[in-house]
Amino acid sequence: MTAVFFDYPKAAAFGRVVPKTRIYEHAGANTALKDLFVTQVDQIAWKFKLAPETINLAATRAVSEIQVFGVSLRTNKLDDEVLRAIDRAIPFPLIFELTWSGKRRAVAAFKRPSDADAAKWVVSEYFATDWAPDDAPRQPLPVALNLNGLYEAILTAMMPAPSAAGEDIQIRVARMEAIRAKAREVGRIKTRLAREKQFNKRVAINAELRTAKQELERLTAGDPVAGCGE
């Protein structure tokens, strides 16, 4: 995954530090989650507010604003539960920029209002760019007709495989999650194969591995996956 970073307009700068205690309150953090924040997170900053009044793009029902959060880390690893807690606490789609030791990466999940309850949010798995130098060049924001289109374009830039023709964002996210799950399955099968000594069992595991690899190739090439309404 290449590192793609966007140049957010100065008019959208927000620049406020977010106390961890505020996240704890709104996310209902337990002791284990608070410990993750303490050991992994140095500071959380609300960096940009992408809204109709700051970037001149119309809001939609699903995306009225996009918030860009900077998270400076104490370590190069961050548990997804930390990001999920921030997503639970902030009722808008979020883009995270993580910084650590002179490097940065962008991370985000697809976040949408629940079909069953518009007051609740459905959050996908997280997508991330590679780490890159903190001074790596930034690209202009993608051209979009509204905030929903901008959000989809930013998310798509973080995904591990290209989008397919006619694929809406929910189907695309479901396919990316299926790619990730199938890649994990391929890895598990390879581990079993490496450990197995009996020839007959190795033949069966090899066949299973071929099938899993073919399914992974099919998904990566853009074959659709059933959507995930909620």
Residue pLDDT, tens place only, 141-159: 999 999 999 999 999 999 9
Report the percent of the chain where pLDDT is more than 70: 96
62-79 average pLDDT score:
95
How high is the pLDDT of residue 114?
86
Q: Which amino acid is at 98?
A: L
Q: What are the E-state strand segments in 114-166?
A: 121-128, 132-133, 139-140
Q: How many CA atoms lie within 13 A of 202 on its CB side?
A: 7
In terms of pLDDT, which residue wins out, 116 or 20? 20
Q: What is the DSSP letter of 144?
A: -
